[in-house]
């Protein structure tokens, strides 16, 4: 930690209730399967991620300490303050005045905030009495280049 205080800045996300078609065919991430054109349902992607709208806030990730968990620099994360803070979940916490997102772990009876990024030099953070766990990551949104 650098000791500098990061001001808490919530990203305003306005859900317009956009419903998009959802294919009834699962997309294999391994071997390809024959394509199907049928649509099974419709979905509001934001509502699918956000289970507790009044308790969910969006944050932009800075850094790459959770790439092994599929969370990358620049991703948007939905943090649910009503979510259950359990070992094994990704949480957003305030540590020494700085906001961080890490995986909650327990070792030798103590809670830790673990980075999950093999080959990089990130140290686990011991959860102390002054650590505030603000919420649980409920989902991520990542945007790719398309043009």
List, in order of start, the domains of the chain with CATH numbers: 15-49 (no CATH), 52-141 (2.10.109.10)
The pLDDT confidence band at residue 142, using thresholds 50, 70 and 90, is: very high
Position 13 scores a pLDDT of 57
Position 2 scores a pLDDT of 43
Position 5 scores a pLDDT of 44
> Any idea which residue has 């507790």 for tokens?
52
Q: Would residue 15 show up in a list of annotated catalytic residues for this protein?
A: no
Position 41 scores a pLDDT of 79
* pLDDT at residue 65 greater than cutoff 80: yes
The pLDDT confidence band at residue 144, using thresholds 50, 70 and 90, is: very high
For every residue of 71-124, DSSP letters joined together read --TT-EEEEETTS---TTSEEEEEETTEEEEEEEEEETTEEEEE---TTS----
pLDDT tens for each residue of 15-43: 667 776 766 676 677 666 555 555 567 88
**Residue among 2, 15, 65, 130 flagged as catalytic:** 65
Q: Quick check: 92 and 65 in contact, CB under 8 A?
A: no
Distance CA(4)–CA(20), nearest Å, equals: 42
* pLDDT at residue 6 greater than cutoff 50: no
* pLDDT at residue 82 greater than cutoff 70: yes
**Residue among 102, 103, 116, 130 flagged as catalytic:** 102
Q: Would residue 102 show up in a list of annotated catalytic residues for this protein?
A: yes
pLDDT tens for each residue of 91-115: 999 999 999 999 999 999 999 999 9
């Amino acid at each position: 930690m650098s000791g500098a205080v990061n001001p808490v800045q919530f990203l305003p996300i306005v859900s317009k209730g956009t419903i998009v078609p959802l294919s009834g065919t699962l997309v294999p991430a391994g071997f390809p399967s024959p394509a199907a054109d049928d649509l099974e349902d419709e979905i509001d992607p934001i509502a699918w991620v956000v289970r507790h709208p009044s308790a969910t806030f969006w944050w932009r990730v800075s850094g790459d300490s959770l790439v092994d968990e599929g969370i990358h620099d620049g991703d948007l994360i939905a943090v649910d303050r009503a979510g259950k803070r359990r070992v094994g979940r990704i949480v957003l916490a305030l540590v020494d005045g700085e906001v961080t997102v890490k995986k909650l772990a327990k070792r030798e009876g103590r809670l830790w905030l673990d980075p999950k990024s093999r080959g990089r030099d990130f140290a686990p953070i011991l959860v102390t009495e002054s650590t505030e766990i603000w919420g649980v990551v409920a989902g991520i949104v990542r945007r790719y280049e398309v043009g």
